[in-house]
A and B are shown apart, each in its own frame.
Chain A
Amino acid sequence: MDWLQQLINGISLGSIYALIALGYTMVYGIIKLINFAHGDVFMLGAFIGFFAITRWEMGFLPALIIAMVLCSMIGVIIERVAYKRLRNATRIAALTTAIGVSFLIEYTMIFFRGATPEAYPQVLPNKNINILGANISSQTILILIVTIILMILLQFIVHKTKIGKAMRAVSHDADAARLMGINVDNTISATFAIGSALAGAAGVIFGSYYTRIDPLMGVLPGLKAFIAAVLGGIGSIPGAMVGGFILGIVETIVSAVGYSLWRDAAAFVILILILILKPAGIFGKNIREKV
C-alpha cells in the first residue's frame, strides 16, 4: 500500500504548510498585508526549538512551547516596529517593507551564526507502525496529533473567545470595530502573536521531522505556505488548512512519481492556475472595488 504511505507523507508536509499558512491568512485577513517575514519567523522558531533542546536539554513539548512564546513576541515586535506605520501606506510600500523585514531577519541570522545548516536532534520516539500495510513512523503520528490540536485550539480562540471575536470584527471592518470600542491596535498585535506562535510551532515540527535547519529554510516553505493560503482563499482559516494539505499532498505525489526536481515548480504552477482561474481561492469570496 505504497500510495497510503505517500498520502501520509503528504499530509505531514501539508500540516506544516497549513500551520504557516494560518499566520499568513490571519494577518492578510486583518491588515491586507502579505507578511513576507512570516517564513522567517518559522525559521526562528526552528532555531529557538533547536537551542531549547540542545542547550537547555528540554523535551519536544517544552521546546515547542518556548518556541511558540518567543515567536509570538517576535511577531508582535515586527508588527509594532515595521508594519504599524504602514496601515495607510500604498500596497507597494507595504509589500516592499515586508520583503525588507524578511531579508533583514535572514541575513542578520547569517551574520551572527553563518549560513551552515544545523542537524536537529532526535527528540521524538521513532518506531515504525504498520497500518493497513503502510509503514508509518510514530513521529509522523505525533506531529499530526500536535498539528491537529493546534488547529482546534485556533478554531476555539477565533470563534469562542473575546479576542477572536475582536479579530473577526476588525478583519470585517476596522473602522466600525474601532467605533464599537474594540482596540484595533491590540487586536492586530494579537493576530500577529497567534500567527507567529503557529509558525514557531511549525518550525520546531519541521526541524524534528526533516532534521535539518538553516537560516534560509523559511524562504521556500514560507512562499509555499502563502500559496496554500491563496489556494484555500486568503483570509479564510479553514481555507489555509485545506490549502496546506492539498499542497503537501500534491508535492509528495510529484516527487513520488519521479519528478522531484520539479517539485518546487508544482507549487508555483498551482499558484498561477488558481490566481488565473479562481483568484478568490477555494473558500474565498469575490470582492469588487466600489466605484
Chain B
Amino acid sequence: MKKSKAFWGYLVIALVIYAVVQGMLVTGMLDLYYQNMLITICINIMLAVSLHIVIGITGQFSIGHAGFMAVGAYISAICTMKLGLPFIVGIILAGIVAAFAGVLVGVPSLRLKGDYLAIATLGFAEIIRILFLNIDYVGGAAGMVVNHATTWTYAFFGVIITILVISNFTNSRHGRGCIAIREDEIAADAMGINTTYFKVVAFVIGSLFAGVAGALYAHNFYIIQPTAFNFLKSFEILIYVVLGGLGSLSGSVIAAIFLTAISQYLQAFPETRMIIYSVVLILVMLYRPTGLMGTKELKDLFKARKKGGSEV
C-alpha cells in the first residue's frame, strides 16, 4: 500500500514536469536550443539507465553499449525513411531488434567474466559499427539522412517507461537474482539462481532500451553515421553509470542530466570536455570508487536525513 502511494506520487510529479515543460515549449518560453538539450538529456538518461541494469545491477562490465544504440538508430531509420512506416513503429522495432542483438551478443559473451567480458562487448560493438559502415543500403561511412521526428513528448515518455520497467524489474525476485550475481556469482549459483539466464535477461532489457534510445537519437538529428556509435559513445554512457554510482538508478539519472548539460555548454570545446570527463572519472574512481551515490537511491538519502534529524 505504502509503496503504491509513493508510485502515484512519483507519477504525478513526472506528469507535472512534463506538462510544465510542454507548456513552455508550446508558448515559446523555451527555444529550440533548450528543446534539443532536453531531448538529448532524455536520450542520455535512457542510455544510462539501460546500462545501469547491466553494470550496476547485474555487475556485468559491458563497454559496448553504443553498439545496441546503433542497431536501434539504424533500424528505426530504415523503418521511417526506407519503408515509410510511422515513427512509433520504428521505435518499437528498434527496441525489438536491439534486444535480439542483445541475445546474439549476450549468450556467447556473458560466459566470460570481468575484463574479458568488457573486451568482448567492446569487440561486438565495433563489429556492429563496421557492419553498418559496410552496408551501402544505409549509406556506409557517409551515413543516412533521417527526418526530425523526436519530440519532447516521445523523449519524456521514453524515459518514464525505461525507468519504470527497469526499476520494477530490479525490485522483484528477478532483479534480486541479478543483484545476487553482482554480489557473488558462485553463491548466487549455489542458491538456485540460473546465473547465465539472468545475465542474458538483464543484458537484453538493457539492449532493448538502448535501441529505443538509439531510435530517438536518430530522429533528433538529420543524419546518422557509424562514427557516432564508436567506443567514445560507449565510454560516455559508461561514465554516467560509473559516476552516478554503480547500482544506483537515480545516481545514473542524475549523472546523465548533469554531464549532458555540461557537455552542451562545452560543445564548442570538445577536447576540453573530454579532458574534464576523464579527469573527473579518474578522480572519482581513485577517491570514491563506488561512484557518487554508491548503491543508494535518492529516496534513501532523504530517509537517512529524516532518521538523523529525529535522533538529534
* Chain A residues in the interface with B (C-beta under 8 A): 32, 34, 82, 85-86, 89-97, 99-104, 106-108, 110-111, 219, 223, 226-227, 230, 261-262, 264-265, 268-269, 271-272, 275-276, 279, 289, 291
Please count the residue pairs between chain A and chain B whose beta carbons lie under 8 angstroms apart in the complex: 115
Say whether B134 contacts A261, CB under 8 Å.
Answer: yes
**7 A–B contacts, CB within 8 A, in A order:** A82-B286, A91-B115, A99-B238, A104-B279, A262-B130, A268-B130, A269-B127
* B278 adjacent to chain A (CB < 8 Å): yes
Say whether B271 contacts A96, CB under 8 Å.
Answer: no
State which of B63, B115, B123 has its C-beta within 8 Å of the C-beta of A271.
B123
Determine, out of B104-112, B144-152, B165-173, B251-259, the stretch whose residues face the partner at the interface.
B104-112
Q: Which residues of A contact B285 (CB under 8 A)?
A: 86, 89, 93-94, 96-97, 100
Say whether A272 contacts B281, CB under 8 Å.
Answer: no
Say whether B112 contacts A101, CB under 8 Å.
Answer: no
Q: Report Cα–Cα, A291/B120, bound state, in Å.
A: 26
- Main secondary structure, interface of B, reads helix
With contacts A104-B275, A108-B275 taken as known, whether A223 is within 8 angstroms of B122 at the C-beta atoms is yes
Interface size class on chain B is 35 or more
With contacts A89-B289, A103-B235 taken as known, whether A275 is within 8 angstroms of B281 at the C-beta atoms is no
Q: Report Cα–Cα, A149/B186, bound state, in Å.
A: 46
Residue of A nearest to B56 (CB): A92
Say whether A90 contacts B289, CB under 8 Å.
Answer: yes
Say whether B119 contacts A96, CB under 8 Å.
Answer: no
Q: Report Cα–Cα, A110/B270, bound state, in Å.
A: 10
Interface string of B234-268 (1 = CB under 8 A from A): 01001000100010000000000000000000000
Q: Which of A92, A103, A110, A268 has the most CB of B within 10 A?
A: A92
Residue of A nearest to B115 (CB): A34
Q: Which residues of B contact A271 (CB under 8 A)?
A: 119-120, 123
Q: Which residues of B contact A100 (CB under 8 A)?
A: 277-279, 281-282, 285
Q: Which residues of A contact B63 (CB under 8 A)?
A: 95, 99
Say whether A275 contacts B120, CB under 8 Å.
Answer: yes
* B16 adjacent to chain A (CB < 8 Å): no
- Main secondary structure, interface of A, reads helix
With contacts A95-B118, A108-B275 taken as known, whether A101 is within 8 angstroms of B282 at the C-beta atoms is yes
With contacts A91-B61, A111-B272, A265-B127 taken as known, whether A96 is within 8 angstroms of B238 at the C-beta atoms is yes
* B114 adjacent to chain A (CB < 8 Å): yes
Q: Which residues of A contact B55 (CB under 8 A)?
A: 92
Say whether B282 contacts A111, CB under 8 Å.
Answer: no
Q: Which of B109, B111, B115, B134 has the most CB of A within 10 A?
A: B115
From 139 to 171 in chain B, residues with beta carbon under 8 angstroms from any chain A beta carbon are: none
Q: Report Cα–Cα, A2/B231, bound state, in Å.
A: 36
Say whether B186 contacts A289, CB under 8 Å.
Answer: yes
With contacts A104-B278, A262-B134, A265-B131 taken as known, whether A219 is within 8 angstroms of B231 at the C-beta atoms is yes
* B185, chain A: closest CB distance, angstroms: 9
* B36, chain A: closest CB distance, angstroms: 24
* B10 adjacent to chain A (CB < 8 Å): no
State which of B59, B61, B123, B126 has its C-beta within 8 Å of the C-beta of A95.
B61
Say whether B123 contacts A268, CB under 8 Å.
Answer: yes
